[in-house]
A and B are shown apart, each in its own frame.
Chain A
Amino acid sequence: MLKIAVCVKQVPAYSEGLMDPETGVMIRAGLESVLNVYDLPAIETALRIKEEAGALVDVFTMGPAKASAVLKEAYAMGADRGYLVNDSCFSGADVLATSYTLMQAIQSTEDYHLILCGRQTTDGDTAQVSGAIAKWLDIPHVNWVTEILHVAHDSITVRQAMEEEIVTVKATYPCLLSVERSIFLPRLPSLKGKIAAKKKDINVLSLADMEDQEESHYGLTGSATKVEKIFPPAKTAQRDIIQKDSQEAANYILEVIKKVNK
């Protein structure tokens, strides 16, 4: 049977409007954590394949204990097993360390044929972890997948949206696909599924469950990049209302259009 791993992430519900523009203070109250919306189509893709061809659908998420909520959501949608990748030494990870940790978790669990990721997260917004996981596992990967065309016993054929072209690609297993939001409209959990999910257990994977147990390969020490500082963006927005005669106003707008379209 086809074995599928789906990587998902818990993110803050509002990626925008977080910082008070006047004081620069982050608004923390009422910040709900949700399953990254880009990951829902990845789960849906796995479930469709399961329904069509039969498959085991496992879901992995790396994060704090409360991130198990997104695994429950995946259960409610129909996922088989959920893995919370959690250890105090995993925190502070950048793309490199995150992808390494997820790779270790995946590799320590099953020999998966197919790994599915969402296009990107709403908080990090980098769309990089999927390609990095593929490299760690040394398997091919296809980004920007908009359609699953054929699921065979040894390969999967998909449509990939590049900038200028739509490409039909066949990838042999094991492989990784990063799917676009448009691939499938994710199902809503059913009431029965949701109630059943509440009673289902979450598997926790910590450092001790990994093949590589060298602490320094994970988290902050395993990261290659370092955030030196964060600061509020310079306000470039021009807010002074232009009041000129029509000719000048038109010229002004034209200059703006040229600047934007450079």
Chain B
Amino acid sequence: MGRQLIYPMEERYQEYLSDESKMVGKADSISFPENEGEILEIIAEMNACHTPVTIQGGKTGIAGCAVPARGHVLNLSHMNQVKAFNKTAQGEALLKVEPGMTLLELKKAIKKLKTEEELFWPPDPTESSSTVGGIASCGAKGICSRLYGDTRKYIQAARVIQWDGSVKEIKRGETTVSFLGREKDLLDVYLGGEGMFGILAELTLRLEPRPKEMWGISFFFEKKEDAFTFADNLMTEDLQVEGASIAAAEYMDRATIDAIEERKEMMTALKELPDVGAEVAAMIYIEIHGMEEEAVEEIAEILMELAVRCDSDPDRAWAVSGETEIEKMRVFRHAAAESANLLIEKIRQREPRITKLGTDMSLDKEDFQSVIAKYEADIAQEGLKACIFGHIGGNHLHINILPEDYEEYEKGCKLFEAWAKEIAAQQGKVVTEHGVGKLKKPLFLQTASKDCIEEIQRLKHTYDPAGMWNPENMI
């Protein structure tokens, strides 16, 4: 036996009982394995005493997937190495990494690769300290999923440690299981599985050529209705240009902008951006990616004309290009979520019963205008305050209710339930990319179809018969 692997849950490990959901869990012990061998040792020990295990990465989740309900916390943040890089005969660039690698570390690691062309891993949920394993487990995809699609597309294989300590190598396209009458790739059971089926001990990521040209444009609107029109036009306008595409389209309302601006003095990264004018009622951030400079410009010009038609002054729109400059814009967008979390945190100091009330629902049947108008009307009718931001594609909005007191919080909860039911009835998604975790479990159980829940239970029973993984999560 080597070093001590399992530590009792002492006070100094307090922070590992919580994540960005701010839920606080319970556990008896914790470990920080550094390789697969150590994980296996830990699992053997946990198995022997029938202790359930909650797997943890960067603790940046906002649904409480990594908050332990009981038992043992297996924190993978010390497993953050690159294992291998190779190019297949088909020219696919595959990078094998350990699950505890953060996005920031991954970006650095990719930069170090010696390749002809620059590569990148498309999923980028702006929080740079989130881990690859965490992203894979809840299907986080970030703002550019509009162009690049689901995260699972960029995970080719995984090494999975199962409840009995056996290790399985799963490659995409090799095995399927039936789920709700359709065939689902076995790999996808684990991806988006929120740590309920096994440990992702190693992931093979599929890298793509990095777009040579990237533009980030922030459009400002004095009337939010104009922003809605702009958003809907984005969907219908002919933006097909060979060699470039719109990668991201994000909406932020005035309350969100205010929350961000309030934090400016306290956050170095935000200070580099000019103030947003007081007359602005809403903004839309767009990213264009492409291999051809002219093509990117062509789209930018179409957008400029569209902006003029929607009463947004292109002389005031911020337009930057290149990774470094775009990062500034992403910091602004990421600050939307962070600022909303901080506002909730402030309220929580007054009223600890309040937790984050943020939606992650998407509904692509209707147009943006009517979806957001419905949300806003409901919020106004209940006399609540909220900040609204999110992805224009799929009308995937994050509505963060900001309750003044517990009474308002309860009103907000009811509103959420109503929305979730409505979205579910219209075949939208109640949980899109944040995961269900423990925070949204009640909402999920209320709105998901009986068939769906039963299927998940069946899978859970198949792959985790002993109830080893992530107790109390989702179902």
Where the two chains meet, the residues of A that have a C-beta atom closer than 8 Å to any C-beta of B are 13, 17, 20, 27, 29-32, 34, 76, 185, 187-195, 198
Given A185-B274, A190-B316, A198-B297, does the pair A29, B111 have CB atoms closer than 8 Å?
yes
Separation of A31 and B215 alpha carbons in the complex (Å): 18
Most chain A beta carbons < 10 A, residue from B115, B319, B323: B319
Separation of A192 and B320 alpha carbons in the complex (Å): 11
Select which of B108, B112, B297, B304 is within 8 A of A192 by beta carbon: B304
Q: How many residues of B contact A (CB 8 A)?
A: 34
**Closest Cβ of chain B: how far from A238's Cβ, in Å?**
22
Q: Is the CB of B318 within 8 A of A192?
A: no
Q: Is the CB of B182 closer than 8 A to any CB of chain A?
A: no
Closest to A33 in B: B322
Residues of A near B318 (CB, < 8 A) are 188-191
Known: A30-B118, A185-B272, A195-B300. 20 other contacts (CB 8 A): A27-B112, A29-B112, A30-B111, A31-B111, A34-B322, A34-B325, A185-B271, A188-B274, A189-B320, A190-B316, A190-B317, A191-B300, A191-B317, A191-B318, A191-B319, A192-B314, A193-B319, A194-B320, A195-B301, A198-B297
Separation of A28 and B303 alpha carbons in the complex (Å): 35
Q: Is the CB of B114 closer than 8 A to any CB of chain A?
A: yes
Residues of B near A20 (CB, < 8 A) are 112
Q: Is the CB of B217 closer than 8 A to any CB of chain A?
A: yes
Interface residues of B in 117-145 (CB under 8 A from A): 118
Residues of B near A34 (CB, < 8 A) are 322, 324-325
Separation of A13 and B210 alpha carbons in the complex (Å): 17
**Closest Cβ of chain B: how far from A92's Cβ, in Å?**
26
Residues of B near A17 (CB, < 8 A) are 108
Separation of A13 and B315 alpha carbons in the complex (Å): 27
Select which of B110, B273, B307 is within 8 A of A30 by beta carbon: B110
What secondary structure prevails in chain B residues at the interface with A? mixed
Given A13-B324, A193-B319, does the pair A29, B118 have CB atoms closer than 8 Å?
yes
Q: Is the CB of B113 closer than 8 A to any CB of chain A?
A: yes
Q: Is the CB of B273 within 8 A of A188?
A: yes
Separation of A31 and B307 alpha carbons in the complex (Å): 33
Where the two chains meet, the residues of B that have a C-beta atom closer than 8 Å to any C-beta of A are 108, 110-115, 118, 210, 215, 217, 219, 271-274, 297, 300-301, 303-304, 307, 314-325
Separation of A185 and B318 alpha carbons in the complex (Å): 14
Q: Is the CB of B319 within 8 A of A194?
A: yes
Residues of A near B272 (CB, < 8 A) are 185
Separation of A76 and B113 alpha carbons in the complex (Å): 34
Closest to B312 in A: A191
Closest to B272 in A: A185
**Closest Cβ of chain B: how far from A28's Cβ, in Å?**
9
Residues of A near B316 (CB, < 8 A) are 190
**Closest Cβ of chain B: how far from A116's Cβ, in Å?**
20
Separation of A30 and B116 alpha carbons in the complex (Å): 11
Closest to A14 in B: B324
**Closest Cβ of chain A: how far from B286's Cβ, in Å?**
10
Given A27-B112, A195-B301, does the pair A188, B319 have CB atoms closer than 8 Å?
yes
Residues of B near A188 (CB, < 8 A) are 273-274, 318-320
Residues of A near B324 (CB, < 8 A) are 13, 32, 34
Separation of A194 and B325 alpha carbons in the complex (Å): 13
Closest to B116 in A: A29
Q: Is the CB of B319 within 8 A of A29?
A: no
Separation of A17 and B130 alpha carbons in the complex (Å): 21
Separation of A190 and B115 alpha carbons in the complex (Å): 35
Residues of B near A189 (CB, < 8 A) are 318-320
**Closest Cβ of chain B: how far from A255's Cβ, in Å?**
27
Q: Is the CB of A187 within 8 A of B274?
A: yes
Can you name 13 A-B pairs with beta carbons within 8 Å? Answer: A27-B112, A31-B111, A34-B324, A185-B272, A188-B274, A188-B319, A190-B315, A190-B317, A191-B303, A193-B315, A193-B319, A194-B319, A198-B297
Most chain B beta carbons < 10 A, residue from A32, A34, A189, A192: A192
Q: Is the CB of B319 within 8 A of A190?
A: yes
Given A190-B318, A192-B314, does the pair A32, B274 have CB atoms closer than 8 Å?
no
Select which of A27, A185, A194 is within 8 A of B111 by beta carbon: A27
Residues of B near A198 (CB, < 8 A) are 297
Residues of A near B274 (CB, < 8 A) are 185, 187-188
Residues of A near B314 (CB, < 8 A) are 190-192
Separation of A193 and B217 alpha carbons in the complex (Å): 12
**Closest Cβ of chain A: how far from B238's Cβ, in Å?**
19
Residues of A near B301 (CB, < 8 A) are 195
Given A29-B111, A29-B114, A190-B314, does the pair A13, B304 have CB atoms closer than 8 Å?
no
**Closest Cβ of chain A: how far from B419's Cβ, in Å?**
35
Residues of A near B323 (CB, < 8 A) are 13, 32
Closest to B329 in A: A188
Given A32-B322, A76-B319, A185-B274, does the pair A191, B307 have CB atoms closer than 8 Å?
yes
Residues of A near B271 (CB, < 8 A) are 185
Residues of A near B215 (CB, < 8 A) are 194
Residues of A near B325 (CB, < 8 A) are 34
Q: 9 closest pairs, A vs B, by CB?
A: A30-B111, A191-B317, A191-B319, A188-B318, A194-B319, A192-B314, A191-B314, A13-B324, A192-B315
Closest to B321 in A: A194
Residues of B near A194 (CB, < 8 A) are 215, 300, 319-321
**Closest Cβ of chain A: how far from B125's Cβ, in Å?**
20
Residues of B near A27 (CB, < 8 A) are 111-112
Residues of A near B113 (CB, < 8 A) are 29
Separation of A206 and B168 alpha carbons in the complex (Å): 64
